[in-house]
Every structure is written in structure tokens, then in C-alpha cells.
Amino acid sequence: MTTIKDVAVLAGVSFKTVSRVINRSPHVKEDVRQRVLRAADALEYRPHHHARHMRTQRSKVFGFLSDDIATTPFAGQIIQGAQEAAFRKEMLLLTFNTGGNAAVEQAAVEMAIERGVEGIIFATMYHRAVQVPKDAFRLPLVLVDCFSPDRSVRSVVPDEVSGGYSATKLLLEKGHRRIAMINANQKYPAAEGRFRGYRDALREYRLTIDPELVRLGGWWQDDGYEQTMALLKLKQIPTAIFCASDRIAMGAYDALKEQGLKIPGDMSVIGFDNQELLAAHSRPRLTTISIPYFEMGSWAVERLTNTAQDSDESPIRPVALPCPLIARSSVERPANRKLRNKDSAHIR
């Protein structure tokens, strides 16, 4: 087994210099860095082997760092997916809730490394770009529901585009042609990807986007309520609404019911997220798109336990897992075509 000392000897540098290169310290001259990397390659040395072989026995523990994941209803399933996969491999998770604070994240990584974890999973409560604490690179590392902007780290994310596409496609297949989208006004991958899916599905049906049907606000119930009220004031109201979150859909429900419209009889509604507390218990049950939290958690652990898959691929593209359609009772074909085509479609 190759040790860090073998690499140091072959590269003709000190142990500390090799360590600096592994830890991506900026304080190493480029030619020295190249020499160390060539030596490491020649000896088939991998940094994570280092961390593992430094100890006399394996800890069989992964560090699981998350921002607010454990405290949101969104993504506890990431933990469950990771834990079940870890359990099958007789691995355990040491969990850290960092609250997204960079200093806490740094401390958590140090504590995890001190305790000999064999790899680190770094998860966020919503799909976004992250800055990973530098020390985390000393170990095998996988990002969940987030990605590194420089694409230097393996990561798994939801396929937002295909989710938005499936939602819109369902409405199109049911016969809807005037389909609104209530989205969040943010540059996050969730908002952008879900919109791209909406656009792609409309294009497939040779429909152009009607800008007055695309409503932008926040992710919450109040936003859904306000934007739906705005849609209902249009000369020609839509027959279906694709909401970028189940929370938005709940606000749309409130507005539609308040205006005396039946769901799905007068208006079909589809959500995104499959938050059980909302989608599975609303009246009517909400048809929505599920985010593969559980699968992303499992994937991360499987990936960490199978480093044989590691390659020198660079940049590393995030793996996008599918977002399945969960069919419930809030979508049907547009029944009242007259209403849809009348100019007098104002409600109250």
C-alpha cells in the first residue's frame, strides 16, 4: 500500500509538502505541485487512501454535514436514504447541522476528520451552489442537492428540468392549452430548471409562452394566493396552473376556492416537491412532482463506498436524478371549454 511518505520520497519533497498539495493549499509552487501529483499518480496513490491508511483500523463512519436539512420538512429523507444505504454497508453517519454557517462548517469538518471519518457527505436543504470547507477535500466527498460552482466535486441533484417538463406534459396530455406557471423569482436551479421544463413541454406542442401566464413571486402559500388572484383577473384565464412548489399550490387552492372555482373541475393544479403534509392531505389531493431526496441520500453513500468508480473526469458534472410524477386528484381535462374561451371570464 502506498503511503504519503512513499510519495514524498519519490517526489523528493517533505511529508508536509505532499500534505499541502493534497489539501489544496495555495502555498505550494506550481512545479512542486506538479511533481507531487506525478509521483502520486505513478504510485497510484489517492488522497483518501491516505486518510484511511493513516489509522490502524477503519472507523466505518461517514460525516454527514447539512445546513438546515434536519429541521425542515423538505429533506429529512436525504438523511434516511443515506442512513439506510450506510446501514447496509455497516457504516454509520456522524451528523452535523451547521445552519449554513461557514465557521461551523469548517469546525464540523475538522471534528469529523479528527474522529477518523472515511468520507464526507455535504447536503443542503435546497438545490444550490455551495462553497465547501477546504479541509473536506482531504477525504472522499459527495455533495447532495447542491454543487460546487467550479465543478471540482462529485454531486447529485434533482433533475428540475425533467420535473417541470413532466408536470406541464401531463397538463398538455389532458388537453390543456392555456397553462399558467407560478414560479419563484429567483436565480436558483429549482426555479430556472422547472421553468425550462415548462417551456420545453409547451414547445413540443408548438405553443408559445404567454408572458401574462408566467407569474413570479416567492415559494410560499401567500405567493401562490396572490399570483392566482392575478391570473383570475386576466381577460382569458388559464385552465390549469403549474405551481413551482406545493406551498404555492396550497395558496392557489385558497384563492380558487375563495373565488368559488372547483379544483380540478374549473381549474387543474399541479405542484412540485411532494411535501406529504400538504400534497397528500389537501382537498383535493394534490398531483405533484416528487424530489428524489431519499435516492440522492442513498446515491451519495453508494458513491462513497465505491471509490473504484472514481475517475479523473474534470470538470465533474452533477448527476441529476429523475423527479417522478405523483398523480393524485387535482388534474383533469378542461371540462368547461366555454369558460375558457369566453372573454367574460373575469371572476367576481
Applying CB under 8 A, the residues found at the interface with a copy of itself are 59-61, 64, 70-73, 76-77, 79-80, 83-84, 87, 90, 92-97, 104, 111-112, 115, 220-222, 225, 247, 250-251, 254, 257-258, 275, 277-278, 281-283
Burial of 337 (0-12, 13-18, 19+ CB in 10 A): exposed
Q: Cell numbers of 325, please?
A: 410524477
**Structural contact between residues 262 and 234, judged by C-beta atoms closer than 8 angstroms:** no
Q: Is 326 left (phi over 0), alpha (psi -120 to 50) or beta?
A: beta
The minimum distance between CB 230 and a copy of itself, in angstroms, equals 16
Going by their DSSP bridges, the two strands 61-66 and 92-97 should be labelled as: parallel
Nearer to a copy of itself, 54 or 129 (CB): 54
Nearer to a copy of itself, 74 or 188 (CB): 74
Alpha-carbon 228 to chain mean position = 26
Nearer to a copy of itself, 110 or 150 (CB): 110
The minimum distance between CB 119 and a copy of itself, in angstroms, equals 15
- 11 residue type, one letter: A
Nearer to a copy of itself, 97 or 336 (CB): 97
The minimum distance between CB 222 and a copy of itself, in angstroms, equals 7
Rg value, the chain, Cα: 25
Determine the Cα–Cα distance for residues 235 and 16; give it in Å rounded to an integer.
71
The minimum distance between CB 72 and a copy of itself, in angstroms, equals 7
Nearer to a copy of itself, 181 or 263 (CB): 263
The minimum distance between CB 35 and a copy of itself, in angstroms, equals 38
Nearer to a copy of itself, 76 or 322 (CB): 76
DSSP state of 318: P
Please, what is the angle between helix 15-22 and helix 30-42, to 10°?
90
Nearer to a copy of itself, 277 or 308 (CB): 277
Q: Cell numbers of 114, please?
A: 479528527
The minimum distance between CB 289 and a copy of itself, in angstroms, equals 18
The minimum distance between CB 223 and a copy of itself, in angstroms, equals 10
Nearer to a copy of itself, 209 or 280 (CB): 280
The minimum distance between CB 136 and a copy of itself, in angstroms, equals 16
192 contacts: CB under 8 Å, gap ≥ 6:
160
Q: Which of these, 239, 268, 303, 281, lies nearest to 91 by C-alpha position? A: 303
3-state secondary structure 35-92: HHHHHHHHCCCCHHHHHHHCCCCCCCEEEEEECCHHHCCCCHHHHHHHHHHHHHCCCE
Rounded to the nearest 5°, which phi and psi values hold at 289?
A: -115, 130
